[in-house]
Amino acid sequence: MFLHWHLKKEDIKKILIKSHLTIGTALINIYLIMYNFYNIGIFKCLYITEPGGLNMKFIYNLRLRAKLIMAFAIMSIFIIGIGLVSVSNIKKVNNKNKYIFERNSRVIEDVTRFKTNLIQINLDIYKVMDEQNADKVEDLTSEIDNLRRQDDLFLEDYEKNIIDTVDRKKFDSLKSVLSEYREKREKLLQYIYQANYADARKAYNDLNVVSDKIVKDTDNYITFNLLLANKQVEESQELYKTTVNETISIGLVGFFISVLVGYFIAYRLSGKIDKILSFSNSLSSGDLEHKIVMKSNDEIGALAIALNKAADKRKEYEEQLVSSYEELEASYEEVTALEQEVREKYNDLEASFEEITALEQELREKYTEISINEEKLRNNEEWYKLITEASYDALWDWHIKEDKMYFSDRWYKILGYTRDETKDIDWTSLIDSEDYERIKETIKLSWDTREPVFSVDYRIKDVNGIYTWMQTIAKTLFDANGQPYRLAGSHKNINEIKEYQHRLEYIAYHDYLTDLPNRQYMHKVASDYFSKNNSNNGKKGAVIFVDIDNFKYINDTLGHNFGDFLICAISDRLNRIKKQGDILIRLGGDEFVILVNNINDRQEVEAFSKNILSSFDSSFNINNNFLQVTSSIGISMFPDDGEVIDELLTKSDIAMFKSKGLGRNNYTFFHSGMNDKVIERMEIERYLRSALDKNEFILYYQPQVDAESGAICSFEALIRWNSPELGFVPPDRFITLAEENHKIIDIGNWVLKSACEFIKEVHTNGYNQCYISINVSVIQLMQSDFVDNVIKIVKDITIDPNYIELEITESIFIESYESISEKLNKLREIGIKIALDDFGKGYSSLSYLKQLPISTLKIDKTFIDDVLEDNKVSLVENIIDIGHKMNLNVVAEGVETKEQLTYLNEHRCDRIQGYYFSKPVPHREAMNLLAK
């Protein structure tokens, strides 16, 4: 297949032309050989009727099976020859391809690792210089020494694989440049040690020049190895052409020899079959004197003898049947006469019966018609009365031409009026004026378009002067001229529905904790906030992004409830200092956004930002606990930095992170220098929209190992994005964006379906106790049809739900417990397991943990990293005990060393996951891990 991919159209044309010439030459040679052989009597000897044919008489006496075996044996010999030639050449191709693939993979991997190390060192040096933190130099030096040892191992490994003088020359050049780079790097580190950052920056620029040269050399290495691979492909193509020609030549020779042998056998068989066919034709025409004359000792000869005996026997039976037939013919004539007499009498009776049946049917139809008409009249009267009295909705009927309106009793009951009170009142005057205009427009549109049925909502005043929401569903009747003459329908009180709709809308667009507008409000309702308020008057606007510093630490130390009270206090303080017309939004967690409009210049925004920072100078009193909090602020301006809310929010978010990098408790305006991150984000978002449709996502699977048996008991499905435009994009760069634009819903459904198909294949291959863990986003969980989608996928793939585990992070559980708990409980009821991921990083208490519908506890990697450090207290043992006491399976993530594994086994951790056993691998490699 590798060769097939690389064959060009010109190569295929050359092979076909060469093959046609080879075939033509072979046909001419075969014809000449056959002609000469026939002249010297080789083929003549096969026929015993020809002189000299007696030497081949044994073929005449062979059984049919033996003759066919001989023909196919000759054909098989040539097929084996073709196979041996093809296998031999294909083996050579495979050996060459395997060698060049292994060498190139090894070299490219080493060169790429060397290039990555170089970039990592330069980045770390730049961070130390940028932060001017001399305390980190020792850590940096240690890291550089470690990476330098790796580079030396790479150079040593690559030198073993050098194949020619060109390769040696490139290698020596790289070593020379690397030596120069290390000298300049040592000089740069000395400047940093001395805190001489001015000279350090100059030295860093010189170092970058050498670094660029090294990067260029490494890229040349990769290009060089690709050229080697192309050369190998060309050699493989030549071998492929030779194989095709040899196969065609041998196949044609074998084909024509097999045809000749088959023709000989068929010729001998057809003569014998013609004799049997002639006998059959004579027998069918009544000639019983015809006999088969055949001197053959095979199965056909035996058949001829049997057929001759059968003809003789048939002649004897035929003579006996002739005499019996004459007697039967006389009896048949008598029976025929009796049958004709009976048929005539039956026809007379049948005609009389049809006349009686027709009269009876006519009477029955008239009686049924009279009964149905009487029943319809009675039912219509009763039905109309019943519907009018029993209907929960009010019924009305308007005779348009007479302008008469009828209302059922229910209409008066809903509004509280009596018939006498409304006798002299135009009922349309009770309708809200705005709604009345809408009703008239709806009726007019229905009549103009000849749509008989319409629906409209409106407000109408009851007996107490209070407006009640009503819904009318009506139907129009049109006369023969297309003019409306009657309109009837129902009134339904929808006050409760309207109030519920308003409540749902409020909940959807407001934060449950602070009652502030939320992210959905900003995107749906306030999306055109600036364009509405500022475009016409030439004013500016601003998006101010406020993030509370160290809020996670507050939650971890003082608890989730304390953090909620603090968020409420902060939102109250921000709400007091914003001016009227501005919008304060809680994005979630500790993030707030203030939309400010009608601004003359940046100075106004700067003054307001300073006011926000100073408002945090006063400590917050939370249950008599006084807490000092600071914030970091990022600002983007409308229309200078953008005209769309999403773009402005992104830029203010970037500016906020810049404020944190500058030491927190300050504000930063977005500027064009920060735009690289915005462009990167927009690029990712643009290609992300079509990534699923283009099948750019793939799933990797990391095994989880049973601690007791050491066998693979499950896999965690992890998504990867291989974009043709962006390359390999890590999940942490696109998952958040996918959640923001809700593409995560479709991506999550694809992940769930693909992971279930994978585990079904695992079960089909005999590993039917293995199950799959799948990460689920909070956006998926918030969808109303999430549970239905999961159940549908499980049913469509026909997988046992007991072998599916959904992983939910601890923060999702805590922040959205009320919204998702019912859904997760439904999934647990059908057998699907729920795992609490990243346990320990959040802020859940043990009492809260008991309420969660989980079956598995996953210990975060940060805890596993600490288990062997003497100066740190490990909580892993306690977490495992807590999990077991709550009847939960405990999984340790991020296990990378044997010492960590030993520790976890000693404390009875149930399952282990990490690089110690395997990194996440593609589908086929995961199946191979099971086999191993």
Nearest to 800 by CA among 777, 770, 826: 770
Asked whether residue 49 carries a pLDDT value surpassing 50, the answer given is: no
Residue 697: what pLDDT? 95
Average pLDDT over residues 878-906: 90
Please return the burial class of 23, using the count of CB atoms within 10 Å of its CB with bins 0-12, 13-18 and 19+: middle
Q: How far is CA 226 from CA 100, 157, 222, 233, 248, in A?
A: 10, 19, 6, 11, 33
Average pLDDT over residues 25-37: 44
Nearest 5°: CA angle at 549, between 548 and 552? 90
In sequence order, the β-bridge partners of residue 702 are 716
Asked whether residue 5 carries a pLDDT value surpassing 80, the answer given is: no
Nearest to 804 by CA among 839, 749, 752: 752
Which 3 state secondary structure label does DSSP give 213?
Answer: helix
Q: How far apart are CA 642 and CA 650, in angstroms?
A: 10
Cβ atoms within 10 Å of 699's Cβ, excluding its own: 21
pLDDT class for 748, splitting at 50, 70, 90? very high
Asked whether residue 825 carries a pLDDT value surpassing 60, the answer given is: yes
Residue 57: what pLDDT? 53
Least confident interval from 29-38, 133-142, 331-340, 532-541: 29-38
C-alpha distance across the termini of the chain, in Å: 27
Using an 8 Å Cβ cutoff, are 704 and 912 in contact?
Answer: yes
Asked whether residue 698 carries a pLDDT value surpassing 90, the answer given is: yes
H-type helices in 416-455, by residue range?
Answer: 433-449
Q: Which pLDDT tens digit goes with each residue over 536-559? A: 566 788 999 999 988 876 776 677
Q: Phi and psi at residue 729, in whole multiples of 5°?
A: -100, 120
Q: How far apart are CA 704 and CA 910, in angstroms?
A: 10
Residue 351: what pLDDT? 62
Residue 591: what pLDDT? 93
Percentage of the chain with pLDDT > 70? 72
Nearest to 282 by CA among 295, 291, 273: 291
Residue 12: what pLDDT? 39
- Whether domain 509-670 has CATH 1.25.40.10: the reply is no
Q: What is the mean pLDDT of the chain?
A: 77
Q: How far apart are CA 459 and CA 435, in angstroms?
A: 7
Average pLDDT over residues 383-412: 68
H-type helices in 808-922, by residue range?
Answer: 810-815, 817-829, 846-851, 861-865, 876-885, 898-906
Nearest to 273 by CA among 256, 241, 289, 296: 296
Q: Which of the given ranges, 115-129, 227-241, 514-528, has the highest pLDDT on average? A: 514-528
Asked whether residue 833 carries a pLDDT value surpassing 90, the answer given is: yes
Q: How far apart are CA 852 and CA 835, in angstroms?
A: 10
CATH tag for 98-244 (out of 2.40.50, 1.20.1440, 1.10.260, 1.20.1530): 1.20.1440
Instruction: Tell the CATH topology of 685-931.
Output: TIM Barrel (3.20.20)
In one-letter notation, the amino acid at residue 106 is R
The dotted CATH code for 391-493 is: 3.30.450.20
Residue 342: what pLDDT? 56
Strands 771-775 and 712-723, bridge-based pairing: parallel
Q: 786-797 and 817-829 are packed helices; what angle lies between their axes, rounded to 10 degrees?
A: 20
Bigger pLDDT: 855 vs 211: 855
Average pLDDT over residues 594-598: 89
Place of tokens 């004799």: 275
Q: How far is CA 595 from CA 198, 244, 288, 620, in A?
A: 41, 73, 113, 24
Asked whether residue 48 carries a pLDDT value surpassing 70, the answer given is: no
Residue 38: what pLDDT? 42
pLDDT class for 806, splitting at 50, 70, 90? very high
Bigger pLDDT: 290 vs 748: 748
Using an 8 Å Cβ cutoff, are 916 and 896 in contact?
Answer: yes
Q: Which of the given ranges, 29-33, 299-303, 500-504, 778-782, has the highest pLDDT on average? A: 778-782
Residue 209: what pLDDT? 79
Q: How far is CA 393 from CA 410, 432, 584, in A?
A: 7, 20, 43
Q: Which pLDDT tens digit goes with each residue over 772-802? A: 999 998 888 888 889 999 999 999 999 999 9
Strands 804-809 and 771-775, bridge-based pairing: parallel
Using an 8 Å Cβ cutoff, are 705 and 905 in contact?
Answer: no
Which 3 state secondary structure label does DSSP give 50?
Answer: coil
Q: Which pLDDT tens digit goes with each residue over 294-322? A: 666 666 777 777 777 777 777 776 766 66
The C-alpha torsion from 87 through 88 and 90 to 95, rounded to 10°, is 130
Q: How far apart are CA 576 and CA 574, in angstroms?
A: 5
Residue 392: what pLDDT? 55
Annotated domain spans of the chain: 2-90+252-265, 98-244, 391-493, 509-670, 685-931
Q: How far apart are CA 639 and CA 541, in angstroms?
A: 7
Spatial CB neighbours of 569, under 8 Å, sequence gap ≥ 6: 620, 621, 622
Please return the burial class of 932, using the count of CB atoms within 10 Å of its CB with bins 0-12, 13-18 and 19+: exposed
Residue 751: what pLDDT? 96
